[in-house]
Amino acid sequence: VICLLALAASVHGMWIFPDALHLDSTDVLNKNCGESPYTEWEKPEDAREFENPWLAVFRHPEEQAPFCHGTLITEQHVLTTAVCAESFTINDTIVALGDYDQSVNPDCNSAGICASTIERVLKEIIKHPKFVNDSYQYDIAIVLLQRPVIYRNNIKPICLPLIPIIPSSVHLPKVYNALWTESSSRPKQIMMSYISLDQCRDLTQNQLVLHEEQMCAKYARPSRLKLNGGAGSPLLAEYHDRSFQMGILSIGMPDGDYSMPYVYLNITAHISWLHDTVSEVDTESRADNSWLPDAVTEVDIESQ
């Protein structure tokens, strides 16, 4: 059980994250998480190599184009939406990790450092038991990879905030949505601004039924980029040189312009379910010898 007896406060405009709470109070989440060579709060629109090593995409085996995003949260668990998970098939759907430029593999930077994309199929799909498809309520799912990954420069887990966050009542850090868009083979980082649920309802002319476990954000500045195809992608923030995932992209308005909001699932509203689900699945997987690498090398794992 996660100990959540901690206070978050806004002091002199700075958002306070109790580091020990987030990193040390759980045995299954936030291990070696959120590490990137780039730690500034204001992100460039074009992501740099190794900047989002937690990003994952899902695709069907007969197709190269991905249809949903996700984020790595442990060596064997990927976080995404329940709507995305509705299209997943065990032992068939492919999740790609460690990618940067989707047009090449491996990716090599200017220093000559190269990193390969790895692919896994799904062993288990766990959707939130209260998920409601029509309203996107509890739109969250965890998938268990057939085999664990090995952390490296281009594959690392994201940190998850373990304390409740109420966007309307605290000063939050700058946030951005990281994802591959339909128009770019490399990830984009779109700076976003939180808005209240009431503002969200007004901007969408009450087309959406919103719930307290959801939150809304819109573009922080005008942009021609669209988040189409970005379901499951993360809403992120930097703190103390680590990246934390605040939300999961759930609903967008496909015909709207940059002033229209997007709806995200609030991670902290579901953190107990997340933690307990990962703990339970992790225990079951370790009891099953099939999860073990069996001395397979890193190169072997990448090729499987």
pLDDT tens, 286-303? 666 444 443 233 333 333
d(CA 121, CA 91): 5
- Look at residue 204 in the predicted model and tell me its pLDDT: 85
pLDDT at 80 over 50: yes
Contact 109, 220 (CB under 8 A): no
Confidence of residue 33 (pLDDT cuts 50, 70, 90): very high
Confidence of residue 172 (pLDDT cuts 50, 70, 90): low
Q: Which of 2-16, 137-151, 200-214 has the lowest mean pLDDT?
A: 2-16
Contacts of 167 (CB under 8 A, 6+ apart): 194, 196, 215, 266
- Look at residue 69 in the predicted model and tell me its pLDDT: 97
Chain segment 101-116, per-residue pLDDT in tens: 998 888 887 778 888 9
- Look at residue 122 in the predicted model and tell me its pLDDT: 97
On average, the pLDDT of the chain sits at: 83
pLDDT at 74 over 60: yes
- Look at residue 93 in the predicted model and tell me its pLDDT: 97
- Look at residue 295 in the predicted model and tell me its pLDDT: 29
The closest alpha carbon to 230, from 113, 92, 60, 70, belongs to 70
Chain segment 121-146, per-residue pLDDT in tens: 999 999 999 998 888 999 999 999 99
- Look at residue 1 in the predicted model and tell me its pLDDT: 42
Chain segment 183-210, per-residue pLDDT in tens: 889 999 999 999 989 999 998 888 888 9
d(CA 95, CA 143): 10
The closest alpha carbon to 36, from 100, 120, 80, 95, belongs to 100
Q: Which of 161-165, 223-227, 258-262 has the lowest mean pLDDT?
A: 161-165
pLDDT at 12 over 80: no
pLDDT at 254 over 90: no
- Look at residue 4 in the predicted model and tell me its pLDDT: 41
| Predicted TM-score of the model (pTM) | 0.85
pLDDT at 8 over 50: no
Q: Residue type at 42? A: E
Residue 237: strand pairing partners: 175, 244
d(CA 50, CA 100): 8
Confidence of residue 25 (pLDDT cuts 50, 70, 90): confident
* Higher pLDDT, residue 229 or 17: 229
- Look at residue 107 in the predicted model and tell me its pLDDT: 85
Percent of the chain exceeding pLDDT 70 equals: 82
Task: Kindly list the structural domains of the chain, giving each domain's residue range(s) and its CATH number in brackets, ordered by start.
Answer: 50-158+270-281 (2.40.10.10), 175-268 (2.40.10.10)
Cis-peptide into 187, omega within 30 deg: no
